[in-house]
């Protein structure tokens, strides 16, 4: 934490970190693919549910973000953890296609309640406490707490499933329940400045907050940049992690161990993302995104050892890039009244693209073409980063020119 922060700020960051830790402890993450397979679902059904999950998240994201801006970020963090608790219990009693679909729909609802409200609450609390400089480190430490919990728990996931198949879901529900208790202890936001908090915007105004995005080319380009990061992370760490290890011939009991090892590298990146500030936030995000794409492509010719190395490099890059991307987006939002809505809109765009990518992934896997999919993703990401780099430089040029012109006028005066 940055020197000079108050005890109240440090307490909020600790509570937020604990909340991130316990909501992120998804013990079933390394084994859900196998668990669903063992329950009789096909690859098409499994990835079909994933696609529906993303679409459901998209439908819920903007309304929940708008309501969070309208009412209270803390209440949405509490509700999100409560819904996740219920979601984690569904696969225990309902091991069918319908049960897993309900499970992921509830996960979508819980995540939509939390996604915009979480970052908005932390950023606004630090901004109003005059500690906004600590935001990137706080966001990174929250990510690090989540990853630390996974490192501690995930190695046991495969063995737990072999001992008692639903046990990872029971443990996930217990952790989400702890998150509810932590969210109840979060304090209200300090009083805001008159310019940002003179009144609460109506729900209709919040639903129309997309105008702010449309009028900010810089914010749009940063969100597009974040889409690439989010999509790669989801593909590498969720959708394809288990199929990749299955193809490489790794035993189920070791899946959690490999995920924990790769998570150590992501933890190192998340905890040390501030080290890259001297290179500039935008170039760092572009470079790390390309590194992630190349690491996925190199999985194609890699053997088992090479696969683990590539996944570790991928995880290190994703850990480094996430807090930087969060700070870029939050800094580009000029109207704090719409912060949760715009962050939710960003998540909606992320999940929309992921829904399309996962839908395509199912087609590739049904043809046995996972390697071709990884190569196509890497090439597409690299081309997208090159195009966005050019557009981002052009979008910043008018702003720089305007600032120079303003400064010249002031000097003349």
Q: Is 241 among the domain residues?
A: yes
Cα–Cα distances in Å, from 127 out to 24, 124, 190, 196, 379?
25, 5, 9, 11, 39
Q: Is residue 69 part of a domain?
A: yes
CA distances from 405 to 302, 334, 412 (A): 54, 21, 11
CA 11, 16, 22, 24 torsion-angle sign: negative
Q: What is the pLDDT of residues 66-113, one digit of tens each?
A: 777 777 888 899 999 999 999 999 999 888 899 999 999 999 899 888
Q: Name 392's Cβ contacts closer than 8 Å, sequence gap at least 6.
A: 218, 221, 222, 225, 282
In a domain, 198, yes or no: no
Q: Is residue 2 part of a domain?
A: no
Encoded tokens for 301: 């010719």
Whether 251 is in a domain gets the answer yes
Residue 261 makes CB contacts below 8 A (sequence gap 6+) with: 308, 312
Q: Decide: pTM greater than 0.85.
A: no
How many degrees, rounded to 5, is the angle at CA 142 between CA 2 and CA 266? 105
Query: Kind and range of the H or E element at 353?
Result: helix 339-366
Asked if the structure places residue 135 within a domain, the reply is yes
How many C-beta atoms lie closer than 10 Å to residue 285's C-beta? Answer: 24
Is residue 175 scored above 80 in pLDDT?
yes
| Total of domains in the chain | 1
Residue 363: domain span? 7-188+212-412
pLDDT at 30: 74
Query: Is residue 367 in a domain?
Result: yes
User: CA separation (Å) from 240 to 63, 172, 234?
Assistant: 30, 21, 8
User: Considering the domain boundaries, does residue 274 fall inside one?
Assistant: yes
- Statement: residue 27 has pLDDT above 60: yes
Question: Tell me, what's the pLDDT at 193?
Answer: 53
Mean pLDDT of 328-351: 72
Give dist(CA 115, CA 99) in Å, integer: 24
| CATH at 281 | 1.20.1250.20
pLDDT at residue 270 is higher than 80 = no
Which tens digits make up the pLDDT trace of 183-223? Answer: 999 988 887 654 444 445 554 555 455 566 666 777 788 88
Residue 44: band (very low, low, confident or very high) from pLDDT cuts 50, 70, 90? confident
Q: Of the candidates 110, 271, 132, 253, which has an alpha carbon nearest to the alpha carbon of residue 179?
A: 110
């Amino acid at each position: 934490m940055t020197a000079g922060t108050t005890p109240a700020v440090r307490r909020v960051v600790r509570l937020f970190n604990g909340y991130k830790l316990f909501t992120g402890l998804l013990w079933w993450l390394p084994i859900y693919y196998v668990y669903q397979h063992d329950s009789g679902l096909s690859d098409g059904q499994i990835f079909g549910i994933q696609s529906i999950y993303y679409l459901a998240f998209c439908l819920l994201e903007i309304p929940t973000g708008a309501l969070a801006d309208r009412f209270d970020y803390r209440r949405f963090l509490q509700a999100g953890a409560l819904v996740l608790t219920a979601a984690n219990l569904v696969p225990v009693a309902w091991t069918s296609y319908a049960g897993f679909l309900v499970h992921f729909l509830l996960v979508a609802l819980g995540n939509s309640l939390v996604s915009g409200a979480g970052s908005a609450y932390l950023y606004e609390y630090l901004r109003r406490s005059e500690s906004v400089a600590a935001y990137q480190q706080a966001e990174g430490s929250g990510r690090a707490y989540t990853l630390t919990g996974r490192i501690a728990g995930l190695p046991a996931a495969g063995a737990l499933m072999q001992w008692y198949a639903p046990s990872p879901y029971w443990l996930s529900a217990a952790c989400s329940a702890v998150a509810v208790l932590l969210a109840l202890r979060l304090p209200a936001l300090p009083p805001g400045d008159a310019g940002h908090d003179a009144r609460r915007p109506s729900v209709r105004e919040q639903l129309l907050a997309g105008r702010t995005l449309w009028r900010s080319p810089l914010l749009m380009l940063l969100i597009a940049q974040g889409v690439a990061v989010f999509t790669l992370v989801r593909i590498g760490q969720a959708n394809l992690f288990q199929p990749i290890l299955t193809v490489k011939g790794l035993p189920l009991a070791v899946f959690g161990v490999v995920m924990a090892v790769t998570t150590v590298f992501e933890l190192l990146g998340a905890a040390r993302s501030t080290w890259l500030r001297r290179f500039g936030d935008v170039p760092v995000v572009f470079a790390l995104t390309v590194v992630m794409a190349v690491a996925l492509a190199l999985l194609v010719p890699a053997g088992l050892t090479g696969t683990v190395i590539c996944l570790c490099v991928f995880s290190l890059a994703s850990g480094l890039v996430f807090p930087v991307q969060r700070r870029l987006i939050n800094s580009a939002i000029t109207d704090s009244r719409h912060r949760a809505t715009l962050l939710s809109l960003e998540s909606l765009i992320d999940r929309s693209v992921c829904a399309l990518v996962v839908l395509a992934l199912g087609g590739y896997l049904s043809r046995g073409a996972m390697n071709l999919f990884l190569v196509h993703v890497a090439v597409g990401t690299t081309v997208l980063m090159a195009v966005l780099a050019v557009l981002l430089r052009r979008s910043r040029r008018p702003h720089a020119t305007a600032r120079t012109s303003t400064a010249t006028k002031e000097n003349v005066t």
